[in-house]
Amino acid sequence: MSLWVDKYRPTSLGKLDYHKEQATQLKNLVQCGDFPHLLVYGPSGAGKKTRIMCLLRELYGAGVEKLRIEHQTIVAPSKKKIEINTIASNYHLEVNPSDAGNQDRVVIQELIKTVAQSQQIQSSTQREFKVVLLTEVDRLTKDAQHALRRTMEKYMGTCRLILCSTSTSKVIGPIRSRCLAIRVPLPSTEDVCSVLTAVCKKEGLLLPPELAKRISEKSDRNLRKALLMCEACRVQQYPFSVDQEVPETDWEVYLRETANAIVSQQSPQRLLEVRARLYELLTHCIPPEIIMKGLVTELLSNCDGQLKTEVAHMAAYYEHRLQLGSKAIYHLEAFTAKFMAIYKKFMEDGLDAMMF
């Protein structure tokens, strides 16, 4: 437990640093003894998982923190064996069904059934239900989500589901309607700064508020990233200086350079270079949506105000196609080419206007 992220993670609802109102609401929810299925969503690094674990602790006590990893093998109807790792305590089970790829439906059905079919022995002292925590629900296939619908209702008596996802847009309606949706927004810059300062204080370090602010901005208010950045800064140089360089993740730098390359020249050759860079990003396990988003953000900051709506429109259009299709590189490149065309035309028009 030596990374600050892990070391100073709050473990109970009462100790949460921000969104305290929501924390008390959750506490009230649990205290009345029962709760519906939950759908916790919010951007990455906002503290969804932390909140869920705090909730479970509130529910079951410290026993939930005794975790173990279990390797489970599930045989699909097609006789294919699916191996999946689950993290479990005596009271709950955590699965990331998207690990199973296309077979996630089988995983969901089997796991939830096995959990739900066994009753708690001492229902007097304990809750009478277990909790199944499904992470990355937005990456579930539609099949699996539909499989979830019925299961959620059928085993309501013995198990509760907590679904964790970054956005609800990929969760089908029926599931959303069966769950109590809890949105965990990103902490504000001030929240991040205060957390950073508090952590540094506990570590016996002195963090200049300016640096804290810079870190929180650079991390896009992603608290996990902010803490890691802070620690990396600490490793890089202590005592902190105000204008210290804050380390960044490589892929963001690379993506920014890619965007610059697109803006600086528009030609098929450049497109070919950009393609190589996009491939590079994709092969480093960066999801195409995030590449698209990063690209658009960078490009928008680079182009003229008149173009922004059109670029955003194009981005939305190709992002949608990206979601529908399977070969991300086509759609990313299509967006790039489109942007190049629009941008080039705009620049040439501008030049013409200047000439006359």
Partner 1 sequence: MDEYDELFEIQDDFEEQFADELEVLAQMEEESSKPGKRQTQGPGDDISDIEHLLDDQPITPKAKRQKQDAGVAKRLFSTSQTQVSKAPSHGDDITPPSSPEQYEPSHTLRPTPAALDISGFGMIPETPRRPPTEAPASLHVLKRPPLEGEYISVTNSLGSRVYLRQKEDTGTKVVDSRMVPNSFGSLGLLAVPISVLRQQEAERRHQQVVEESQRLTELLASSVNDVLPEREDEENEDPEDTEGRTSRLWVDRFSPRHYTELLSDDFTNRCLLKWLKLWDTVVFGRERKSRPARSDRQPLNQNPSKPNQGNQNPNRFKTKIEMTEELLEAELDQYKRPKFKVALLSGPPGLGKTTLAHVIAKHAGYNVVEINASDDRSAEVFQKRIDTATQMKSVLGANEKPNCLIIDEIDGAPAAAINILLATLNRKDGHSAEGGAETSKKKKKKESILLRPIICICNDLYVPALRPLRQQAFLLSFPQTQPSRLTQRLAEISLQQGMKADTGTLMSLCEKTDNDIRSCINTLQFLHGRGHKQVDTKTIQCISVGQKDQNKGLFHLWQEIFQLPRTKRKRVGEGFEEAPGSGGGAQRFQHILHLASSGGEYEKVSQGLYDNYLSMRVRDPNLHSVCDALDWLSFSDRLNQVILHGQNFSLMRYLPFLPVTFHFLFAHTHVPRISYPHSQHEASSRLLSNRNALSSMLADIPACIRTRISQLSLTLDILTLLLNIICPKLRPVNPQLFSSREKEQMRELIDTMLAYNLSYRQDRTPEGQYTYVLEPRVEEVVRFPGLPPHRQLTYQAKQTISREMEQERMRRAEQLMLQRNPAVMQKEEDKKTTGPKPTRNHQQRLENIVKQTTVETRPELDFFGRAVAPKPQRPQPSSDTGEKCAVLAMGKAVGNSDVWFRFNEGMSNAVRRNVYIRELL
| Amino acid code (one letter) for 345 | K
Contact predicate 27/14, CB 8 Å: yes
Question: Strand runs (DSSP E) across the chain, as ranges?
Answer: 38-41, 68-75, 81-88, 92-95, 130-135, 159-165, 180-183
Q: Which residues pair with 180 in a beta bridge?
A: 38
Least distance from C-beta 228 to partner 1, angstroms? Answer: 4
Residue with Cβ nearer partner 1 (121 or 324):
324
Q: Under the criterion CB under 8 A, does residue 187 sit at the interface with partner 1?
A: no
x/- mask, partner 1, residues 5-44, rule CB under 8 A, reads xx--x----------------------------------x
Site for partner 1 in 85-104 (CB under 8 A): 85, 87, 94, 96
x/- mask, partner 1, residues 202-231, rule CB under 8 A, reads --------------------x-xx--xx-x
Q: For 336-347, give one letter per residue: b (16+ CB within 10 A) or e.
A: bbbbbebbeeee
Least distance from C-beta 157 to partner 1, angstroms? Answer: 26
Residue with Cβ nearer partner 1 (27 or 338):
338
Total site size for partner 1, rule CB under 8 A: 72
Residues 6+ apart with CB under 8 A from 97: 84, 104, 107, 108, 111, 134, 136, 140, 144
Least distance from C-beta 330 to partner 1, angstroms? Answer: 5
Least distance from C-beta 339 to partner 1, angstroms? Answer: 10
CA 323 to mean position of chain CA atoms = 17
Rounded Cα–Cα distance for residues 203 and 220 (Å)? 23
Least distance from C-beta 25 to partner 1, angstroms? Answer: 23
Per CB under 8 A, the segment of 20-28, 167-175, 176-184, 264-272 that binds partner 1 is: 264-272
Rounded Cα–Cα distance for residues 150 and 26 (Å)? 26
Residue with Cβ nearer partner 1 (201 or 284):
284
Per CB under 8 A, the segment of 155-163, 173-181, 297-305, 329-337 that binds partner 1 is: 329-337
Site for partner 1 in 41-70 (CB under 8 A): 44-45, 49-50, 53, 65, 67-69
Site for partner 1 in 137-156 (CB under 8 A): none
Least distance from C-beta 101 to partner 1, angstroms? Answer: 11
Question: Strand runs (DSSP E) across 149-233, as ranges?
Answer: 159-165, 180-183
Residue with Cβ nearer partner 1 (28 or 249):
249
Per CB under 8 A, the segment of 74-82, 108-116, 168-176, 242-250 that binds partner 1 is: 242-250
Query: Of 206, 242, 253, 312, which lies in the binding site for partner 1, with binding defined by CB under 8 A?
Result: 253
CA-wise closest residue to 55 among 184, 155, 187? 184
Least distance from C-beta 173 to partner 1, angstroms? Answer: 20
Least distance from C-beta 222 to partner 1, angstroms? Answer: 6
Residue with Cβ nearer partner 1 (154 or 345):
345
Task: Return the half-sphere exposure (C-beta side, CA atoms, 13 A cut-off) of residue 129.
Answer: 21
Least distance from C-beta 44 to partner 1, angstroms? Answer: 6
Task: Return the half-sphere exposure (C-beta side, CA atoms, 13 A cut-off) of residue 93.
Answer: 24
Beta-strand pair 159-165/92-95: unpaired
Site for partner 1 in 269-328 (CB under 8 A): 269, 271-272, 275, 279-287, 290, 318, 321, 324-327
Q: Under the criterion CB under 8 A, does residue 242 sit at the interface with partner 1?
A: no
Strand order in the sheet with 81-88: 68-75, 81-88, 92-95, 130-135, 159-165, 38-41, 180-183
Rounded Cα–Cα distance for residues 259 and 302 (Å)? 9
